[in-house]
Amino acid sequence: MLRYSKLIVALLVVLSAGCSGTSEEGAQGNTPLFEPSEALQLETSDGVTVYGQIHRPSVTIPTDSAGVPLILAFHQGGSSGEAEYAPIIPRLLEAGFAVMTIDQRRGGDRFLGTNRTAAAFDQETVSYCDVIPDMEAALEYARSLEDVGEIIAWGSSYSATLAVKLAVDHPAEISKVLAFSPASGEPMTGCSALPLAFQLRQQALFLRPDSEMSFGSAAADLAAFENMGHEIYIASPGAHGSSMLVPERAEGDTGATWEVVLDFLR
């Protein structure tokens, strides 16, 4: 199943309740709603070991199907893949999407997680743009999976900006882009989302919480994305990055934001 020669894949059975959620029946001891997840170790083009996880929905794939759509969910600064997306993954699985998270080399213990990739680096020496090979390795792995159909790039904060670059660089492999609070300014020099968005040929959805609309060029950037023909959404209530989908982090009902996201994905 795997054709990527530098890919090391380790299988790890994880309790559905711990990582992917369970149905009501599953909680009562019957069949869990979600399949066990699979732990990954990917090697980047510059020799870095990147840790990740893939979660698949419990669906039967017809033999003539194009496969299950896969979301590459990249985390924000100071975080890790599983920690940021733990509250989000179950809803995406219920909607029929597989989800892959990775621990990028720029990250940390935010949301009470552990970033095993970042632990090998002095964070002061790693720029946001340095993370691109990690995301490239995730895409390379996703492309090698026979049961995967379309691939969707989903980014949070700095990785939202890099998700745009990934899509621009791989127009044939990535079908859609979701960018939650795309970072801009000096930290993103060399890989800023605004100039890259002009080159996007895929459908793209740019989102920000209303609390960020007065920050820097946030409002102007969203207006520019909309003028380019991309979709935009301002979440209220909201939180930074993908956390705008998590009620506890957004401190309010996130149903409207979820509706926009799922409509876009479908």
23 has pLDDT over 60: no
pLDDT computed for residue 74 by the predictor: 98
pLDDT computed for residue 217 by the predictor: 86
Mean of the per-residue pLDDT values of the chain: 86
Alpha-carbon span 68 to 196, nearest angstrom: 28
Burial category of 59 from C-beta neighbours within 10 Å (exposed 0-12, middle 13-18, buried 19 and up): middle
**CA distances (Å), 160 to each of 147, 208, 218, in order?**
26, 11, 13
Q: What's the whole-number mean pLDDT along residues 233-257?
A: 97
Nearest to 21 by CA among 74, 62, 82, 73: 82
pTM value? 0.84
Alpha-carbon span 135 to 129, nearest angstrom: 11
Which CATH code, of 3.40.50.1820, 3.40.630.10, 3.40.50.1240, 1.10.8.620, is assigned to 8-265?
A: 3.40.50.1820
User: 70 and 19 in contact (C-beta within 8 Å)?
Assistant: no
What residue type is assigned to position 216 of the chain?
G
72 phi and psi, to 5 degrees? Answer: -90, 105
Q: pLDDT for 46-91, tens place per residue?
A: 999 999 999 999 866 655 567 899 999 999 999 999 999 999 999 9
Q: What's the whole-number mean pLDDT along residues 22-47?
A: 61
Give rounded-to-5 percent helix, strand, coil for the chain: 35, 20, 40
